[in-house]
Amino acid sequence: MGLQNRFRANIFGLVFAAVLSTASFCEISAAETLSASVKVESDQVVITRGGGSLHVSIKPPILKFKNADVITNPQRSELQGDLAAGETLRVTFTPAVLNDSSKVEILLMLKWYPKENALRKWTRLRLTETDSPKLLEEIILEDMDIGNKQIKLQSDGIQSYPAYLEGFFAGVEFPIASTRVSGKRLILAHQPGIKLQPKVWYESRKVVYGAAPEGLEKQAFERYIAANRPSPRSLHVNYNSWWTSPAPYYTEADILNLMQEFGRGLYKPYRVGFDTFCIDMGWSNPQSIWQIDEKLFPDGFSNIERAAAQIGSHLGLWVSPSSQYPTALDNNWAESKGFETFMTPWDWRYTCLAGAKYRETFRSRLLDLIEHYRIRHLKFDGYQFICYSSDHGHEPGMLSAEACAEGIIEIFESIHELAPDTWIESTCFGFNPSPWWAFYSNSVIGTFGDDAPTGRVPCPIYRESYTTARDYFNLQGAEWLSVPTAAQEVLGIIHQSPEPFTNDAVITVMRGHMFLPLYINPKFMDGRRWKTLADIIKWARKNAAALAETEPILPESWRNGKCPKITRDAPMPREPYGYAHWTKDKGIIALRNPWIAPTSCTIRLKNLTQNKPLYAVSIYPEVRLYGSNLKNGSALKVPLAPYETLVLEISVSKPPKGLPNAAEVLGYGVKVVSSKPSTARIVFKSNENGINGSKEFGADWTSEVGASESAVKMEGSAEIIVPKTGGELLLLREGSDPRLAPLHTVTIDGKAVKPKSVSCSADGWAAGVTSPEQWIFLRYPLKQGKHNIRFQMIGR
């Protein structure tokens, strides 16, 4: 491929032609790796790395029973195993004596994993000298004195999260657990909620302690999670029928027609297909446990399975594990048939995954569907962490959480055992999922904000504000979540309106999520857009290894610990941000300016392996030169046009001569010859008693902009020159009142003109929560040439 072709990009039919090495780049470079070791001392194991150490207790765990207390603490009686040599260290204790004279035998186990620089610890318990079971409410596996050390906790909720110490991480290796700080002590515990049966051994969850380069604890933890993820892990491109197919029910004909449209537009002309084609909610008979509705699909999924294969795809399927959607599974019907369901405090009925009958029927049904129809993607949507019932074979309330988690994990593991190439997509564990869900599910939902969050940062093209809103949430998740970026998703490319979708699609790919769902309605596609979509998918697949390594570039005001923590209430900065991806030889960097003012963003180049001059060339939206003869580790200042989405390639490849320099081509547009703006506050007045002597009206009764004692008046005039591409006059109103249009008058060359408008909720059709940002753009078209403009706008 010629060098000029390597950098070609076409604004009308997007072509990414940069070819990157498939070698991955580790955020923890060779210079930052470390060698850790373990040593057993009198009552602790010491993990040493660099100049730091972590002291792990080998004292017996603290046991909390319901209606029983430990009155005689166990004492260590024996220690066996060479931990440093790879053997399991076994610590035996005298039995713990309970207040009813029953006893608990305790065995503590530890094992060192040098390739992970990780130590795991767990316990085995056996109840003796009694015939009565004992309800075990909590096991505290670590009660560590942290003194004045700084501990960073991701969260302390019902889900399991890591704690970060200087040079180390620690946590319970299961999605449901408790990591908390009490005073100056770090507590690592879990609540099994099981009844210990006499003379039966029980094994606890494992605590993991990992060594890390100081300051890179989160990165090291994410490496550990990534190493334990199930296959497949590489890029999975998925189509989802939600929002496009009829709801709440669709027919076989609807799905076949949809597949045929993607065949005509995407697969046949470009040989680009989806890994899986998911039919979302609407396929099941609600009065069954996840059986196909024969009225909608008389031949089961046989016909749509064949149709999917004809467009290069396998079937994917939506399910709701806790049955959160009554149109998919009628939980009152399930209760009447003896399946385990429960009522919540908010008066809603769900199915119980810890209940043996429902769980096994659900599991068997999924395995049957996978086997018969070669389903290779399951979307799990709707999960209840706890069950309130006391007659399902588990404890009610909070002590049911582990049993419910075990239920869905059993289903995940069964799916992967039957069909290892199946992608499990979990959208049901909340904005802040435990990273240990990624041990079982190929991807989890990240901090996505909403199905389609309402726009953040005003833009006259609403899709751009939508993209900013999605990144508003995604960047918070990238900063605070401990799930590897590659294992997260934030609902992918959504295209359900006629607006341009390319910028949003590009930034979606550049977020680095390896599960890429597409919610695209073919009626908003045309020939150019189909080709653009094909090019984006081809490029993403070719560069998937590089995209899987993501470093978020936060807005300037969110850096240095100032990023808000998983909230929708903080403002979105009107500053550039992006995502960087580095291999050992190259970098791909996406930058985005969410605001109307031109700006720049300074990025720090990585130290690449080749000690040669580097070049920075954009591969989207068009080919430009951003830097020549750059050095490893140097800073590059990148100019950005208003609302620009930019993708750069950084490499040693010398670009062809004649590429336009970015600094020379940006900034050409409407030229302002002169302008005279002014702003003033208007105070409304009336006579003292209001209309006809009434005292019910205040001073604002003469206001034409609503109930307010004052308003802001902005007016002005300008002389401008518009280039041949045309332009727009934009008037922006921001305030606290949703969608309140200001009073406005505009004349262009002495003629009054009417605007089009775009607001913060112009297309928020799938948003459950109103954005705290409220704005409206008034848009007036401008033709090529010289114009005189006068405008006036009044609003609260």
Residues 167 and 260 in one domain: no
**Position 220 in a domain:** no
pLDDT higher than 50, residue 14: no
Residue 679 contacts residue 713 (beta carbons within 8 Å): yes
Residues 497 and 627 in one domain: no
For residues 460-485, average pLDDT: 96
Residue 171 contacts residue 161 (beta carbons within 8 Å): yes
Phi, psi of 592 (to 5 degrees): -140, 130
Residues 476-490: tens digit of each pLDDT: 999 999 999 999 999
CB-based burial, 345-383: b 16+ in 10 Å, e otherwise = eeeeebbbbbbebbbebbbebbbebbeebebbbbbbbbb
**Position 40 in a domain:** yes
The confidence score (pLDDT) of residue 3 equals 28
Strands 727-735 and 774-782: antiparallel
The confidence score (pLDDT) of residue 27 equals 42
For residues 140-157, average pLDDT: 90
Residues 241-257: tens digit of each pLDDT: 999 999 889 999 999 99
For residues 313-332, average pLDDT: 98
**Position 779 in a domain:** yes
Residues 484 and 577 in one domain: no
Residues 70-126: tens digit of each pLDDT: 999 899 999 999 999 999 999 999 999 999 999 999 999 999 999 999 999 999 999
The confidence score (pLDDT) of residue 772 equals 79
Residues 438 and 463 in one domain: yes
The confidence score (pLDDT) of residue 688 equals 54
**Position 246 in a domain:** yes
Residues 99 and 68 in one domain: yes
Query: In this prediction, what percent of the chain has a pLDDT beyond 70?
Result: 91
Residues 529 and 559 in one domain: no
pLDDT higher than 60, residue 21: no
The confidence score (pLDDT) of residue 698 equals 52
Residue 463: which pLDDT band, with cuts at 50, 70 and 90? very high
Residue 5: which pLDDT band, with cuts at 50, 70 and 90? very low
The confidence score (pLDDT) of residue 528 equals 97
Looking at 550, 572, 599, the residue that finishes a domain is: 550
Query: In this prediction, what percent of the chain has a pLDDT beyond 90?
Result: 80
Contacts of 454 (CB under 8 A, 6+ apart): 466, 469, 760, 761, 764, 767, 769, 770, 771, 773
Number of neighbouring beta carbons within 10 Å of residue 727: 18
Residues 521-539: tens digit of each pLDDT: 999 999 999 999 999 999 9
Looking at 550, 565, 595, the residue that finishes a domain is: 550
Report the chain's mean pLDDT, rounded to a whole number. Answer: 91
**Position 71 in a domain:** yes
> Would you state the structure tokens that stand for residue 534, as one six-digit string?
């094909």
Place of tokens 């049901």: 428
Which range marks the domain in which residue 780 is found? 671-795
Burial class (CB in 10 A: 0-12, 13-18, 19+), 78: exposed
The confidence score (pLDDT) of residue 691 equals 52
Residues 450 and 428 in one domain: yes
For residues 712-734, average pLDDT: 90
pLDDT higher than 90, residue 580: yes
Nearest to 319 by CA among 357, 282, 373, 277: 282
**Position 43 in a domain:** yes
Identify the residue with better confidence: 145 or 774.
Answer: 145
Residues 356-384: tens digit of each pLDDT: 999 999 999 999 999 999 999 999 999 99
pLDDT higher than 70, residue 793: yes
Residues 23-81: tens digit of each pLDDT: 333 344 433 567 899 999 989 999 999 889 999 999 999 999 999 999 998 999 999 99
The confidence score (pLDDT) of residue 706 equals 60
Residues 511 and 638 in one domain: no
CA 82 to chain centre: 42
Residue 771: which pLDDT band, with cuts at 50, 70 and 90? confident
Residues 652-701: tens digit of each pLDDT: 999 999 999 998 888 778 889 999 989 888 876 655 555 555 554 555 55
**Position 230 in a domain:** no
CATH number of the structural domain spanning residue 510: 3.20.20.70
Strands 194-196 and 134-145: antiparallel
CATH number of the structural domain spanning residue 106: 2.70.98.40
Residues 546 and 556 in one domain: no
Q: What is the largest CA-CA distance in the chain?
A: 99
pLDDT higher than 50, residue 183: yes
Burial class (CB in 10 A: 0-12, 13-18, 19+), 9: buried
Residues 392 and 262 in one domain: yes
Residue 766: which pLDDT band, with cuts at 50, 70 and 90? low
> Would you state the structure tokens that stand for residue 340, as one six-digit string?
């385990």
The confidence score (pLDDT) of residue 164 equals 97
As for how many domains the chain has, the answer is 4
Looking at 531, 550, 569, the residue that finishes a domain is: 550
CATH number of the structural domain spanning residue 556: 2.60.40.1180
Residues 590 and 540 in one domain: no
Residues 590-633: tens digit of each pLDDT: 999 999 999 999 999 998 877 889 999 999 999 999 999 999 99
Residues 649 and 710 in one domain: no
Strands 76-80 and 103-113: unpaired
